[in-house]
Amino acid sequence: MHTMRNVSMDERTSGRGSSVSMASLARAIRAVPLEQLVALQQIVETGSFDGAADELRVSQSAVSQRIKALENQVGNIVVRRTKPVQATETGQLLLRLAKQITLAQEEAIHLIAAQGQQGVVNIRIVVNADSLESWVLPALAPVAQGHIALDIRRQDEHVSTRLLRTGEVMAAITADERPVRGCSITRLGAMAYHAVCTPEFRRRWFARGLTREALESAPLVQFDRDDRLQYRFVRRITKAKIHPPTHYVPTSIGYNDAIALGFGWGLMPDSYARGYPEGRLVRISPEQVLVPLYWQQWRLSSPSLDEVATAIISASGKALVAA
C-alpha cells in the first residue's frame, strides 16, 4: 500500500511547476478511492448529503468525510453546499469519471455473470421531446428487453449537451454539432417542421399574412422556456425580437393538441401534423424548418452504450429527413 501526497492549491497554481503540478494532479486523481467518487455521485444524484448517506447506507458524517478527503486529494472544492447540492466544475469532471467507472463495472458484471443471472447495465441518455415521443422509444424497445436499463432524460435539443458536459448522461440526441470534449458525434438527420394553426385561428390572426404586427399579437404555443424554435422562426421573418402572448405546454402531445385546439400557432413536426384529421390544421407559411440532429456519446469502450447508439442511428435513417 502506498500513500499519495495531496495536491496543494499553491503547487497547482505556481508558474514554475505547471508540468509538475499537472503530473501531481494526475497521480492524485488516479489514487482517488472509488468510495469517494461514489459518494460524490450519490450526493449529486440525490441532491443532498443525507440522501447520499441513505443510498450508501452509511452516516452523513461518513459521506462528509469522503467528500472532504476527495477535495483534499484533488486540491479543489467538488460540490457547492446548495439545495440541491450541485457539483462544481471540478466536481462535474469527477462525476463523469465516477459514472464511467460505474458503467465499466456494470459491463464487467454483465459479461462474467452466470447464464440466467446476467447483470444489468444502466445507460443514461438525453433526448429531445419530439424525438422521444415519436421514433426513439420504438427504436429502443428491443434494447430495453435485454440486459440494459435505460434512464432517459428529456431536454430541448439545443441545450441537451449540458448534461453531457456535467457527466449526468452518457449520450445525447442534440442539435449541437460541436462535439463535447471526450465524445464522438454522428449526424442523424433532421426533424422537419412547419408553422401551423387551425383554419379559424389563421382567419382571425393571419388574414393579411405573416406580418410583424400579426406575429406580435397572435398567441404562440411553446413547449417550455428552453424551446426557442418558434422565436428563431419569427425573427427570421420579422428581423426583430418580438414577444407575442405565449402558452406553455410541456409535453409533445399536449403541445400539438393545444395548437389543434386553437390555443395558438406553433411549429409542429410534419409527422405529427399528418396524424390529425384532414382540415384540422393549416400552414401559415410554406417554409419548412429543418432542425439537424446529432448523436453524441462518451468515447469509451462500452458494448451496451454502442448497442443503444446502433439502435438510434439505424432508426434515424427512416424517421428523419436527410439534411
Indicate the Cα dihedral angle 42, 150, 318, 320, nearest 10°: -30
Q: Do residues 4 and 71 lie in contact, with contact meaning Cβ atoms separated by under 8 Å?
A: no
Please report the pLDDT score of residue 147 as a whole number.
86
Distance CA 83, CA 86 (A): 8
Distance CA 47, CA 73 (A): 22
Please report the pLDDT score of residue 2 as a whole number.
40
84: cell is 440541491
Query: pTM here?
Result: 0.69
24: cell is 501531481
| DSSP designation for 277 | P
Q: How far is CA 77 from CA 27, 44, 285, in A?
A: 18, 14, 52
CATH topology of domain 32-100: Arc Repressor Mutant, subunit A (1.10.10)
Task: Mention every residue, 6+ apart, whose C-beta is less than 8 A from residue 103.
Answer: 121, 122, 123, 170, 300, 302, 304, 305
Write out the CATH class of domain 120-323: alpha beta
Which residue is associated with the grid cell 449541437? 176
Please report the pLDDT score of residue 13 as a whole number.
38
Q: Where are the beta strands (DSSP E) in 245-310?
A: 246-248, 266-269, 282-283, 289-298
51-71: burial string, b at 16+ Cβ within 10 Å, e else: bbbebbebeeebbeebbeebb
Q: Where are the beta strands (DSSP E) in 15-113?
A: 79-80, 86-87
307, amino acid identity: E
93: cell is 469532471
Q: Where are the beta strands (DSSP E) in 49-114?
A: 79-80, 86-87
Q: Tens-of-pLDDT digits for all 323 residues of the chain?
A: 343 344 444 444 333 344 436 677 677 777 788 889 999 999 999 999 999 999 998 999 999 999 999 988 888 899 999 989 999 989 988 988 888 888 887 777 766 664 445 678 889 999 998 999 899 999 999 999 988 999 999 988 888 888 888 888 999 999 989 999 889 999 999 999 999 999 999 999 999 999 999 999 999 999 988 888 999 999 999 988 899 999 999 888 999 999 999 999 999 999 899 999 999 999 999 999 999 999 999 988 888 999 999 999 999 999 999 97
218: cell is 397572435
Please report the pLDDT score of residue 5 as a whole number.
41
Domain boundaries, the chain: 32-100, 120-323
Please report the pLDDT score of residue 206 as a whole number.
97
Please report the pLDDT score of residue 170 as a whole number.
92
